[in-house]
Homo-oligomer: A and B are copies of this chain.
Amino acid sequence: MTVMTKTRARFNLKAAAPFVALFVLIALGAFVHPKFLTFDNLVQNVATRTSFIAIIAIGATFVMASGGLDLSVGSIAAFVAGVMLIYLKSGGPEAGVGMIALAIGLAILVGAACGLANGLITTVGKIEPFIVTLGTMVILRSLFTYLANGGSISISPDLKDIYAPVYSGTFVGVPIPVLTVLAVAAVAAFLLYRTVFGRHVIAVGSNEDVARYSGIAVNRVKLWTYIIQGICVGIAITLYVPRLGSANSATGLFWELQAITAVVIGGTLLKGGTGRIAGTVAGAFLLEVIGNILTLSNVNVYLIGAVQGTIIIIAMLVQRSLMRKS
């Protein structure tokens, strides 16, 4: 039949929208401070510390593409960090690389379990993910505080020094957390765009009834998106713990808002049916770049929030108007 296709061109502009917003911001940053546009600042500092939110936001892309929402990621992060640190402490002074490897496995497992809990309550209990994950957000933070006895949990400086390179180290010049983000994004993109599961995620997010009538196990798909979210939080935490070697009740606070914002700025719609992995990573980076620029600039400290909020809204306006144009 009449097959015309300019698919490529159109899709690319849509996908490029968050990158355009990011680019404009980076150009702005170059004016604010001469050191902004250095490898040390943009990659070694900013990109590296973006890694937690970026990885969590990649998970959130799945949840949101399927029409769900997860407000509990910050608390899952704290809880996973708590469990991981307690495990590492339990090893005493001789704990070494082997134990760290096991702890990494544990973190991912605990993250997945938290995601499983969210998914089960949402699907089996048939209640809005907003409330479910608000509930687990409160619950998990409280469990962390209980584990930490109200304070913080830290590992010994020696053990921390062994583990530290996972955050501060580089491989062929690129920080390991940045590489991790790229790897997670690649796997996620493959999963979302090239597999049956990914297609089903989009289908469930576009129209749950159609998905059900097409023989898709809707609840199973949703469940898996929450598990993936949990696994991503687990991975993020395995990068977070080596940075300071400790966690306290402020760990992960407001991460859910940052992750969701990153996903939305990246071009994924909150109502489901789309998912843009690369956009999400760009969105997470964009948020961190805004923070970086503001610290480097000389805005009144009290007004930093006002500027930040305004830039986020403007970035969204740019992004969405570009997406509509395409």
Q: Which of B130, B265, B306 contacts A138 (CB 8 A)?
A: B306
**Max chain B C-beta neighbours (<10 A), residue from A261, A305, A307, A317:** A305
Contact with B along A302-315 (1 / 0, CB 8 A): 11111111101100
Whole-angstrom CA separation of A303 from B145 in the bound complex: 8
Whether A130 and B309, one on each chain, are in contact in the complex, defined by CB atoms closer than 8 angstroms, is no
CB pair A131 B304 closer than 8 Å: no
Question: Once the chains bind, are A135 and B270 in contact (CB under 8 Å)?
Answer: no
A150 within 8 A of B: yes
Residue of A135, A146, A304, A308 with highest tally of chain B CB at under 10 A: A135
Q: How far is the CB of A173 from chain B (nearest CB, A)?
A: 35
How many monomers of this chain does the complex have?
A: 2
Digitize A141-168: 1 where CB-to-B-CB distance is under 8 Å, 0 elsewhere.
Answer: 1110110011000000000000000000
- The answer to whether B142 and A303 have CB atoms under 8 Å apart is yes
Judge whether A146 and B306 touch: CB under 8 Å: yes
A contacts with B, residue count (CB < 8 A): 46
Contact of A303 among B131, B146, B313 (CB under 8 A): B146
Task: Please measure, in the bound complex, the distance between the C-alpha atom of A126 and the C-alpha atom of B316, giving whole angstroms.
Answer: 10
- Flag if A141 contacts B305 (CB, 8 Å): yes
Q: A134 contacts which chain B residues (CB < 8 A)?
A: 257, 261, 309, 312
Do the beta carbons of A131 and B312 come within 8 Å of each other? yes
Select A142's contact among B135, B143, B257, B302, beta carbons within 8 Å: B302
Contacting pair A309 B139 (CB below 8 A): yes
From 269 to 326 in chain A, residues with beta carbon under 8 angstroms from any chain B beta carbon are 269-270, 300-310, 312-313, 316-317, 320-321, 324
**Given A146-B300, A317-B125, A305 contacting B138 (CB threshold 8 A):** yes
Residues of A170-205 whose CB lies within 8 A of B: none
Beyond A125-B317, A317-B125, whether A312 also contacts B142 by CB under 8 A is no
Please determine whether B127 and A309 come into contact, CB atoms closer than 8 angstroms.
no
| Contact partner, A306, options B142, B308, B321, Cβ 8 Å | B142
- Bound: A136/B305 CA distance, A: 10
A114 to chain B, nearest CB (A): 13
Q: Are the C-beta atoms of A313 and B121 separated by less than 8 Å?
A: yes
A residues 109-133 near B (Cβ < 8 Å) are 121, 125-128, 130-132
In A247-282, which residues have CB < 8 Å from any B CB?
A: 257, 260-261, 264-265, 269-270
Give A303 to B140 CA distance when docked, in angstroms: 10
Q: A128-B316, A134-B312 are in contact. List 5 more A-B contacts (CB 8 A).
A: A127-B313, A131-B313, A141-B305, A142-B308, A146-B306
